[in-house]
Amino acid sequence: MNGILPLWKEKGMTSHDAVYKLRKILGTKKVGHTGTLDPSVEGVLPMCIGQATRVAEYITDAGKEYIAVISIGTATETEDADGAAVVSDNSFKKFSRSELEEVLAQLTGEIVQVPPMFSAVKVEGRRLYEYARKGIEVERPSRTVTIDKLEILDDAEYFEGSEVTFRLRIICGKGTYIRTLAVQIGELLGYPAHMASLIRTASGNYRKEDCRTLAEIAELKEQGKLADFIQPLEAALEDFRFFEIEEDMHFDIINGQVLPKHPLFEEDETPIVFTQNSKALAVYQIHPRKPLLMKPEKMFPENS
């Protein structure tokens, strides 16, 4: 069993829980997820099965889309609704849609974020949440992330009250902390803030409508229809160029030989997926030290 299974992760379970339960349903240990979702977050979590675990990083690195509810007025220790309040501002607040759009414009494009203390980022070999649980504050490395689009989903022209909430559609690159983005929005508005709720509606090319819950997947398996739902691993490679090889290249490709640079690389340096009978055999990239050669980045021997 090889391929991509688009899962709709429900609230209340970790991404690891989802992997564990899917392994039991499928009867295989070779299952991996493509980007952690917190237990309180539901949404698209493509699962890689069998050989497709080798392409998990491509889906993980792809863009994401979220629907978030941002709450202005209270900051929490975890930057989301699960944490205890650390700062509250109960004053009456009022800002216009245009003021909010100006703030969102400042946070669109490349921005710098500092990961929250309650996160899985490692510092000196330990995850930040391990320090946080012991009350230890450590210096956190900043990171540059890309926000492609921030869209207000509420129709209101003015947002007002002691606690103001609004919904945002967020399209962003890998590594973005939506919790931290909520805090940054609040800072630019001049108030404490946190992320009240979050749904991931897309991960790479996989969207909500492509997904099934664990219960639905178990039912499909029982009905013998699961194979029709699992997408081929080639689907995770859609952003690369595909080249169907002749028989004389087969031995070299399946054995991962370093080869002369393919003419396709003259157009650009996007990796090439070499296929036979439309099945991916390997992903090749330009050799990092020998620009006239190419080398394999991923191999799929069982597809040959």
Least trusted range by pLDDT, from 132-141, 212-221, 288-297:
132-141
Answer yes or no: do 136 and 251 share one domain: no
| pLDDT above 70: residue 75 | yes
Whether residues 280 and 158 share a domain: the answer is: no
172 and 72 within one domain? yes
| Phi and psi, residue 98, nearest 5° | -65, -35
- Which domain range does residue 221 map to? 3-62+204-235
CATH of the domain at 137: 3.30.2350.10
| Same-domain pairing of 230 and 249 | no
Residues 83 and 193 in one domain: yes
Residues 258 and 271: their CA atoms lie apart, in Å, by: 14
- CA-CA distance, 270 to 289, in Å (whole number)? 17
Q: Are 259 and 229 part of one and the same domain?
A: no
Question: In terms of domains, do 190 and 108 share one?
Answer: yes
211 and 269 belong to one structural domain: no
Number of domains present in the structure of the chain? 3
Residues 90, 172 share a domain: yes
CATH number (domain holding residue 284): 2.30.130.10
Average pLDDT over residues 69-97: 94
95 and 193 co-located in one domain: yes
Residues belonging to the active site: 38
Look at residue 7 in the predicted model and tell me its pLDDT: 97
Are 188 and 278 found together in one domain?
Answer: no
Determine the pLDDT at residue 142: 84
Q: Which of 145, 177, 200 is the last residue of a domain?
A: 200
What average pLDDT does range 284-291 have in this prediction?
A: 95
- pLDDT tens per residue across span 4-43: 999 999 999 999 999 999 999 999 999 999 988 889 999 9
Q: Determine how many CB atoms are found less than 10 A away from the CB of residue 196.
A: 19
Assess whether pLDDT exceeds 80 at residue 105. yes
Same domain flag for 215 and 293:
no
